[in-house]
Amino acid sequence: MRYRYLFLVSLAAATTLAALASGCGAAGKPTAEGTPGSSSWTQPRTAWGDPDLQGVWRYESAIAFERPADLKGRDLLTDEEVAQKEKQEQEQQANRLSGLEGAAVGRRSIAESPIRGNEYNSFWQDHGRPRRIVKQTSLIVDPPDGLLPYTPDARKAEARSAARYGVGPYESYLDPDTGERCLTDGVTALMWQGPNGGHNMIVQSPGYVTILHEEYRDRRIIPVDGRPHGNIRQWLGDAVGRWEADSLVVDTTNFLDRTNYEWASIWTRPTETLHLVERFTRVSADTIEYKITVEDPATFSRPWTASIPITRLADDTRIYEYACHEGNQAMPNLLSGGRADAAKRRASSK
C-alpha cells in the first residue's frame, strides 16, 4: 500500500499541526467496519433501524470544485492523468512537510510561492497525508459543464469578493468576511470545506441526525420525524430530514439574509430564497456519497448539483473545540492595520 508509507511520514507533520490548527484529528487507520468496496459490506443500522452514518467524516479528495478550463467537455480523467495527479499530490504533501518554517511560507498565491503546496494559508488545509485522486473532473456534476451558473450580478459580486479577500480595505469590523468574523463560511460547503479540512461528527438519536462541524462550531440538529419546516430564519436555515431508502435527504429553507456582509465565496452566501437539498448515502464502510443541490434565483440562473465523496476517519478521531471568536486577535489587528494604512494615506496626501 503506497499510502501507508506516506501516512507514516505525514504523521509527524499532523502532530505538529495539531498544536497549530485544531482540526488535525485524522489518522490513516482503517475503520472498524472494513475497507471500502469490500463485497461483504452491508449498510450498518442504528438500534432503531435507521442507516447508521455516525462517526467523524471529512472530504479527503482533490477534485476541483468547478471544472478546470483544460478539462472542458470531460467528466473523467484518464488513468495516465490520475497517475500524474497522484504524483503531484504526493510532491505537494512532501513540500508541506518541508516548509513549515522559513521565508518560503506565507506567500499569498501559488504563483508567488516557490514551494508548491506551501502557499499562504495552506497549513490550514493540511491533511497529514496526500489527498485521494479520483477520475471525477469537478465536484459540480450539473450543469454538465461543471461550472457555477452565476447570474451576471452574482458574478460581479464574486469578482469583487475575490479581489478583497485577504486584501481589504478594513474600514470597519464589517469588512472582514464572515469566516474572519468567526460567524460561518455558510452551510453550502459545510460538509467538505473549512479552514481545517472540514471535520464533521455525525451523531444519531431517535428522530434526529446531528452534524457537528468543527469550524465555527456550526451545528445542525436535523429532525427526521416528518415535521414540516418552521418559520424562523437562521444563518444555517431550517433543516428537516427524511429517509429515502438508505439515503438521508435534508431539505433546508428559511435562511437569514446576510448578503450585506462580506463572504469569502459568493456561492456559499445564503439569501432568503436559497433552497438546499442534500442527500447523504453511505456507499461503503468509509464513504458517504454526499450530493447537494443548490437552488437560489438571487445568485444562480439555474439549480446546480455537486457530488462529493466524504471519508469516514478512524474510530478514535475526535473533533476539537473551535474557540474562534474567543481568540479572534486577527480582528483588532486587521482594524489597527487598516487605521495605520489610513494614517499613511492621510500623510501622503498632505
Partner 1 sequence: MRMGLGSAAVVIAAAAVAALLWLRSPPVSGQTDPYQAPRTADGRPDLNGVWQAVNTAHYDLQAHPARPALALVPAPPRTDVPGLNRATPVELPAQAVRALGAAGGVPAGEGVVEGNDIPYQPWAAAQKKENGEHWLERDPEIKCFMPGVPRATYMPYPFQILQGVDKILIAYEFAGTSRTIHMNTVDNNPTATWMGLSRGSWDGETLVVDVTDFNDQTWFDRAGNFHSDALHVVERYTRVSPYHLMYEATIDDPKVFTRPWKIQMPLYRRSEPGKQILEYKCTEFVEQLMYGHQGVVDPATGQVNR
Interacting residue with partner 1 among 29, 219, 229, 302 (CB under 8 A): 219
Q: Give Cα 337 to chain centroid, integer Å.
A: 29
Q: Considering the rule CB under 8 A, would residue 112 count as an interface residue with partner 1?
A: no
CA 88 vs CA 243, 278, 303: distances in Å: 40, 32, 33
**Segment contacting partner 1 by CB under 8 A, of 110-118, 157-165, 270-278, 332-340:** 332-340
Contacts of 136 (CB under 8 A, 6+ apart): 61, 63, 75, 76, 77, 307
The CA angle 116-189-43, to the nearest 5 degrees, is 105
The CA angle 157-238-219, to the nearest 5 degrees, is 85
Nearer to partner 1, 218 or 278 (CB): 218
Nearer to partner 1, 159 or 174 (CB): 174
Q: Considering the rule CB under 8 A, would residue 337 count as an interface residue with partner 1?
A: no
Least distance to partner 1, CB of residue 53, Å: 11
Nearer to partner 1, 54 or 151 (CB): 54
Least distance to partner 1, CB of residue 297, Å: 24
| Cβ contact 280:290 at 8 Å | yes
**Can you give the length of the chain in residues?**
350
Nearer to partner 1, 110 or 221 (CB): 221
Q: Considering the rule CB under 8 A, would residue 259 count as an interface residue with partner 1?
A: no
Pick from 149, 147, 152: which is nearest to 302 by CA? 149
Contacting partner 1 within 145-174 (CB under 8 A): 169-174
User: Is residue 94 classed exposed, middle or buried when 0-12, 13-18 and 19+ CB atoms within 10 A define those classes?
Assistant: middle
Q: Which residue has the cell 511520514?
A: 9
Contacts of 226 (CB under 8 A, 6+ apart): 242
Angle between helices 79-98 and 2-20 (to 10 degrees): 40
Q: Considering the rule CB under 8 A, would residue 114 count as an interface residue with partner 1?
A: no
Q: Considering the rule CB under 8 A, would residue 217 count as an interface residue with partner 1?
A: yes
Cα–Cα distance between 144 and 73 in angstroms, integer?
Answer: 8
Nearer to partner 1, 72 or 325 (CB): 325
Pick from 37, 311, 82: which is nearest to 200 by CA? 311
Nearer to partner 1, 246 or 341 (CB): 341
| Cβ contact 26:283 at 8 Å | no
Least distance to partner 1, CB of residue 181, Å: 7
Interacting residue with partner 1 among 236, 248, 294, 306 (CB under 8 A): 236
Q: Considering the rule CB under 8 A, would residue 243 count as an interface residue with partner 1?
A: no
Interacting residue with partner 1 among 230, 273, 297, 302 (CB under 8 A): 230
Nearer to partner 1, 42 or 260 (CB): 260
Least distance to partner 1, CB of residue 258, Å: 9
The site for partner 1 (CB under 8 A) is made up of 18-19, 46-48, 54, 169-174, 181-184, 201, 203-206, 208, 210, 212, 217-219, 221, 223, 227, 230, 232, 234-236, 316, 318-321, 323, 325-326, 331-332, 335-336, 338-339, 342-343, 345-346, 349
